[in-house]
Amino acid sequence: MLRRYCIRLQVPVGGCYRLIDIPMSNCINSGLNKIFVLTQFNSASLNRHISRTYFGNGINFGDGCVEVLAATQTQGEAGNNWFQGTADAVRQFTWVFEDAKHANIENVLILAGDHLYRMNYMDLVQSHVDRNADITVSCAAVGESRASDYGLVKADARGRIIQFSEKPNGADLKAMQVDTSVLGLPLHEAKRSPYIASMGVYVFKTDVLLRLLKWRYPTSNDFGSEIIPAAVRENNVQAYFFIDYWEDIGTIKSFYDANLALTEENPMFKFYDPKTPIYTSPRFLPPTKIDKCRIVDAIISHGCFLRECTVQHSIVGERSRLDYGVELQDTVMMGADYYQTESEIASLLAEGKVPIGIGRNTKIRNCIIDKNAKIGKDVIIMNKDGVQEADRPEDGFYIRSGITVILEKATIEDGTVI
């Protein structure tokens, strides 16, 4: 739903970054220089973003590479099929690891693309090597409310995973509770987070990965629900405990919450770490122009125009236009891919049409506004009735977990109340 025509890796986060920038930057900051991005389909926008961001701009891969590999690029009959899961995606590209130029690669790091965290992957890989693990699973402590969304693990005193349960519920969930204070968490945090979740970040010995995917479990399509639980019974699968900030933002609610958490005075995750920066594409946009506005706990991206409006606890994406009297609160606005000129905007308004951005005296709360959305004047988007779930694509929006999501390129006419 969010970015229906764009793969998840391209979704904006923090105003001007893309989700793909998180694992890519972690790789670069960790000194890893052979990177393959596996996507369900070949995205021109993703290729363009990676090309602009990770070639040049002071980033040097030496004899390494970064390549986007889509499902439709696999060899033989497999090239006619979508990926059936995370393991199937890697299986379809095992020829990459068998290529002569990659013959000396002993370990393969597999990352999820929709998480927000900062990690030195070489610490993870070194732990994997030191313990002579066949597989190492990076893990984090999580609380009761979201534990059933993850694969949960139990490990022995040496860190070897002895049980792996994918998204358990009820009694099965309770059975996975552990004392997470042994991970180094303070007692009060350990009580709030009594489960150990897989982060979807794995290190495999290359020969073990190939054996599992091609010969041992050739029909198993997912790492979390199939490959890892089966491998625990037969291989040395170790847990690597990660105790810094980590957030899986694979749902509308988690995406919304993680973005707005960035607006706090001292957020748990900071993009502006000088030692381990998060890279993104240089867009060569002018500074944002702000005219008589009230802005509180907000992130305003480059190239925006804000006129006598109020922005509170919100993120305003690139090239956003907020007109007179707009009130934006608890909202993630992704911005626009291009500008409309002042004359174009005036012409559209004269014709009774809605330009990109937010029109005069519009009030918006608890909302995600996707890219290039056109919201007219005197609009109210507040979900006052507290609707939790609704599908109104013909009207340009959905509601998920009580959050109103304005669709990409949607038009919300003047005076509309949602």
Q: Within a 10 A sphere around the Cβ of 65, how many other Cβ atoms?
A: 12
For residues 206 and 96, give the distance between their C-alpha atoms in angstroms, rounded to a whole number: 11
Q: Is the pLDDT of residue 78 over 60?
A: no
List, as one string, the DSSP characters of 73-126.
GSSGGGGGS---SHHHHHHTTHHHHHSGGGTT--EEEE--SSEEE---HHHHHH
Residues 239-262 pLDDT 10s: 999 999 999 988 899 999 999 999
- 355 and 294 in a common domain: yes
Is 28 within the bounds of a domain?
no
Question: For residue range 172-225, what is the model confidence (pLDDT) as tens digits?
Answer: 999 999 999 888 888 888 899 999 999 999 999 999 999 999 999 999 989 988
In a domain, 70, yes or no: no
* CA angle at 384 for the pair 379 and 389, rounded to the nearest 5°: 100
**In this predicted model, what pLDDT tens digit does every residue of 135-170 receive, in sequence order?**
999 999 999 988 999 999 999 989 999 999 989 999
pLDDT(75) > 60: no
Q: Measured between alpha carbons, how far is 185 from 200 in angstroms, rounded to an integer?
A: 21
Structural domain contains residue 37: no
Higher pLDDT among residues 11 and 397, named by residue = 397
Query: What CATH number does residue 364 fall under?
Result: 2.160.10.10
Whether residue 249 is contained in a domain is answered as no
Using pLDDT thresholds of 50, 70 and 90, give the confidence band for residue 367.
Answer: very high
If you write DSSP's letter for every residue of 161-175 in order, what string do you get?
EEEEEES--HHHHHT
Please say which residue of 183, 211, 243 terminates a domain: 243
pLDDT of residue 416: 96
Is residue 152 assigned to a domain?
Answer: yes
What share of the chain in percent tops pLDDT 70? 92
Distance, C-alpha 66 to centroid of its chain: 19
Least Cα distance to 371 among 336, 331, 396 occurs for: 336
Residue 181, in any domain of the structure: yes
Asked if 207 and 153 sit in the same domain, the reply is: yes
The average confidence (pLDDT) of the chain is 89
pLDDT score at 385: 94
CA-nearest of 185, 201, 209, 190 to 240 is 201
Least Cα distance to 155 among 173, 129, 137, 132 occurs for: 137
Angle at 362 between CA 384 and CA 6, to 5 degrees: 85
- The per-residue pLDDT for 1 is 38
389 and 335 together in one domain: yes
What's 129's DSSP letter?
A: H
Q: Single out the residue in 183, 208, 243 at which a domain terminates.
A: 243
How much is the pTM? 0.89
Domain identity same for 230 and 319: no
* CATH classification of the domain holding 164: 3.90.550.10
Mean pLDDT value of segment 369-389: 96
> pLDDT tens for residues 40-51?
765 777 778 888
258 CB-near residues (< 8 Å, 6+ apart): 13, 116, 247, 249, 269
Give me the number of domains the chain comprises: 2
For residue 394, being part of any structural domain is answered with yes
Does 85 map to a domain? no
Examine the fold and report which residue of 218, 243, 268 is the final residue of a domain before the chain moves on: 243
Residue 299 belongs to what domain range? 289-412
**Helix, strand, coil share of the chain (percent; to 5):** 30, 30, 45
- DSSP 8-class letter at 217: S
Domain shared by 305 and 237, yes or no: no
Strands (E), 301-396: 305-307, 310-316, 321-322, 327-333, 357-358, 363-369, 374-375, 380-381, 389-392
Q: Are residues 235 and 333 in the same domain?
A: no
**Whole-number Å distance between alpha carbons of 418 and 247:** 30
Residue 103: pLDDT over 80: no
Interacting residues of 118 by C-beta distance below 8 A, sequence separation 6+: 26, 29, 244, 245, 269, 273, 276, 278
Q: Measure the CA–CA gap between 83 and 221, rounded to whole angstroms.
A: 8
What's the chain's length in residues? Answer: 418
What is the model's pLDDT at position 72? 64
